[in-house]
Amino acid sequence: MEVHEITGYRPGTYVEREILKKDGHTKARSVGPLEDRIEGALGWFDRSYRNVIEEGQWRKHPSFEEYGAMMVPYIEDLLPELAPSLAQRYGRTPGVIAHGQANWPLK
């Protein structure tokens, strides 16, 4: 509740996040519009943010835009056709999120 009051953002429940993850993978791999595919690929943000909220470290989590740049190296392997558009939009920040992971690491 504190996060929602301060930021206006409320991560979904576990069930909502799992649905978002499933739908995100489907969207990202679809032949639909680029914007829909990008939205699907970045659906991981909600899960990552929720994890740090549970640890009481939500103020340290990167913004959506920073997170997007951190995910580009992973997306280059997972969804190479989306990576150039994401890198152009958010930049590319390698070495923060471990390969194969989608959660920003607590430090």
Q: Which residues of the chain have pLDDT under 50?
A: none
What pLDDT, on the 0 to 100 scale, is given for residue 61?
Answer: 92
Residue 66 sits in which domain range?
2-90
Does a structural domain hold residue 101? no
Asked if the structure places residue 98 within a domain, the reply is: no
> Chain centroid to CA 38: how far?
10
The full DSSP string for the chain is: -HHHHHHS--PPPHHHHHHHHHHHHHHHTSSS-HHHHHHHHTTHHHHHHHHHHHTT-GGGSPPHHHHHHHHHHHHHHH-TTTHHHHHHHH---TTSSPTT--SPPP-
Identity at 4, one-letter amino acid code: H
Residue 107 within a domain: no
pLDDT digits (tens, 9 = 90+) for 35-44: 888 888 888 8
The one-letter amino acid code at 47 reads R
Is residue 104 situated within a structural domain?
A: no
Residue 49 lies in a domain: yes
Any domain includes 65: yes
Q: What is the pLDDT of residue 107?
A: 67
Q: Is residue 103 part of a domain?
A: no
| Domain assignment of residue 100, yes or no | no
Number of domains in the chain: 1
Do 46 and 67 contact (CB within 8 A), yes or no?
no
pTM here is: 0.83
